[in-house]
Amino acid sequence: MILAFGPENSLAGADAEATAGSAPLFSFEGVAIDGVARPRLDDIWLTVRPGRITVIVGPSGAGKSTLLRCCNRLEVPDRGRLLYAGHDVALLEPRALRCSVGMVFQRPVLFPGTVRSNLLAARQEATEAACAAALEAAELGTDFLDRSVDELSGGEAQRACIARALMLEPSVLLADEPTSSLDEAAARQVEQTVRSLIAGGRSVLWVTHDRAQAERLADDLVVMDAGRVVTGGTGTGSAVGRAGEDAEAPRVDI
Amino acid sequence: MAGTDIGWLGLAASLVLVAAAVVVSRTQRLRLEREIVVACGRGVAQLAVVGWGLAIVLSDTTPLIWAWTWSGVIVVLASRTVHRRAPQLPGILQASLVGNGGCLVVSFLVAFGLGIFPVEARVIVPVTGMIVGNAMKTVVVVSKRLEEEVADRRLELEARLALGWSGMDAIRPAVRAGLRLGLLPTIENVRGLGLIFLPGAMTGLILAGVDPQHAVLVQLALMFLILGAAALAATTVALITARRLFTADLRPVPILRLATDEGR
């Protein structure tokens, strides 16, 4: 059964419940995705809490991006289920889900044109004020509105992508290694921008292979390896298990 | 009607220039002699077979059904060419058959229904060749652009999907780009008619002794049919295929780029 939600404020009630802190934001229940040589995701049990930055860290091929992409249904589990604010993601209308769960990618993927045309691509009927607000949240000045996307630096472009994702007023922002194509300074700027989004009551799920960045950013830290969740914990500097130590994936509540 | 009667002697005489090409290749050490000779050989053989077949199909005593069959074979061969060029696209063979066949049907309805050309074998077969040949080129360009979008430019596609767009909306920029790329050469051909080159059909007619003014009208009519048919075929194939590039829950279907389908 597919529940058809309208595209506007579709999951508003659920979002509010999630950000109140009572219900988990995402709940992975035995999620598995098969792969060629080995499973891409192997029996994932994970709870993601709302209203904070959760960082998923691990080496290449650990399944971090795959796990992230389950959250906006760019990947689907072969087994198990994923709950978003208590709703089974498989039963939600995909477009409604993606309006509530925004995403930025490894490199800034801006459409040809101006920053404004990109913001309007997300929301055609948006007012000038809404565009300005999104830019401000992404820490870009309103003078960026009429800039052509070719003129932007890497860091500015990625923040423009964040602004574009924010146009839909999502409750969650998924960030798939968003600073991997940026230099150090630009990367720090994007980190700072994303950190400021939490203040607005949003949640962020950030994937990275950079351990130092993970420890800098994470309110909650999840470590993955070989398709499994190795360990998770709150804050920085908490004990994280070494990859490969656990014979089977533990059920982890973070 | 005074025709151009070449005969085998005339053909042999025209090979003088082919010999010149071989000499150039030899003296400049281009190492193309073998390719030139093989190509000419194949050309002679293929056209000999086609000429023999056409003589039968186009003869007054042969029923029209054979001309229609020849048309059908051209559509199938053209669709298989598209499939060979973009093998990874789901359902591309069927989509091409619908696109190429459909545009041909529409062209015939216009050409014969509006009385532009008479319904004869000697019109059906060459016109099919020109229309489907051109349509096929456009369809190949559009198909390869779609394949590229899903295989190589997946991140752009996913970025649009992640904004809550529908599958068709997400793929539409690629469809537009492919159609532009595919149709521009044909548009250029129509634009440059007469100025840059004398097109084949017109040349053929003039060589056969037809009044040039009549030849011009025929050529123009054909070019317009070709342009319209190419646009129709490419759009049809693009829209049919685009739908199959996404799952029901709006994820791009996995498409791998094979190394082997380049350079064919």
Segment B1-13 shows an average pLDDT of 70
Segment B242-263 shows an average pLDDT of 76
User: H or E stretch including A203?
Assistant: strand A203-208
In a domain, A61, yes or no: yes
**Does residue A254 register a pLDDT over 70?**
no
Is residue B99 classed exposed, middle or buried when 0-12, 13-18 and 19+ CB atoms within 10 A define those classes? buried
Note the pLDDT of residue A233: 41
- Which domains does chain B possess? 1-57 (no CATH), 64-261 (1.20.1640)
> % helix / strand / coil in chain B, to the nearest 5?
75, 0, 25
**Does residue A104 register a pLDDT over 70?**
yes
Strand partners, A27: A47, A83
B13-52 confidence digits (pLDDT tens): 888 989 999 999 999 999 988 999 998 999 889 888 988 8
Segment A241-254 shows an average pLDDT of 37
In a domain, A109, yes or no: yes
| A216 CA: distance to closest CA in chain B (Å) | 27
Task: Name the residue among B164, B173, B251 with its Cβ closest to that of A95.
Answer: B164
Task: Name the residue among A74, A111, A122 with its Cβ closest to that of B158.
Answer: A74
B54 Cβ partners below 8 Å, 6+ apart? B125
Confidence of residue A79 (pLDDT cuts 50, 70, 90): very high
Asked if A78 has any chain B CB less than 8 Å from its own CB, the reply is no
CB contact under 8 A, A76 and B155: no
**Does residue A18 register a pLDDT over 50?**
no
Residue-number span of the structural domain to which A194 is assigned: 51-69+93-253
Q: Which positions in chain B touch A106 (Cβ < 8 Å)?
A: 155
- Count up the domains in chain A and report the number: 1
Distances (CA, A) of B71 to A85, A151, B125: 59, 52, 6
Q: Which positions in chain B touch A169 (Cβ < 8 Å)?
A: none
DSSP string, A90-144: GGB-HHHHHHHEEEE-SS--PPSSBHHHHHHHH-TT--HHHHHHHHHHTT--GGG
Mutate to test the interface with B, among A11, A70, A111 (most CBs of B within 10 A): A111
pTM of the model: 0.78
Identify the CA nearest to B136 among candidates B79, B73, B93, B92.
Answer: B79
Q: Provide the CATH number for the domain around residue A242.
A: 3.40.50.300
Mutate to test the interface with B, among A91, A109, A149 (most CBs of B within 10 A): A109
- Identify whether the C-beta of residue B156 lies closer than 8 Å to the C-beta of residue B149: yes
Give the ipTM. Answer: 0.82
**Does residue B79 register a pLDDT over 90?**
yes
Asked if A222 has any chain B CB less than 8 Å from its own CB, the reply is no
Note the pLDDT of residue B136: 94
* DSSP classification of residue A249: P
Residue B117, φ and ψ in degrees, nearest 5: -130, 155
| A94 CA: distance to closest CA in chain B (Å) | 6
Segment B211-231 shows an average pLDDT of 88
Give the number of beta-carbon pairs within 8 Å between A and B: 50
Asked if A99 has any chain B CB less than 8 Å from its own CB, the reply is yes
Note the pLDDT of residue B244: 92
Q: How far apart are CA A75 and CA A53, in angstroms?
A: 22
Segment B69-94 shows an average pLDDT of 93
Note the pLDDT of residue B261: 43
Note the pLDDT of residue A40: 93
Note the pLDDT of residue A238: 30
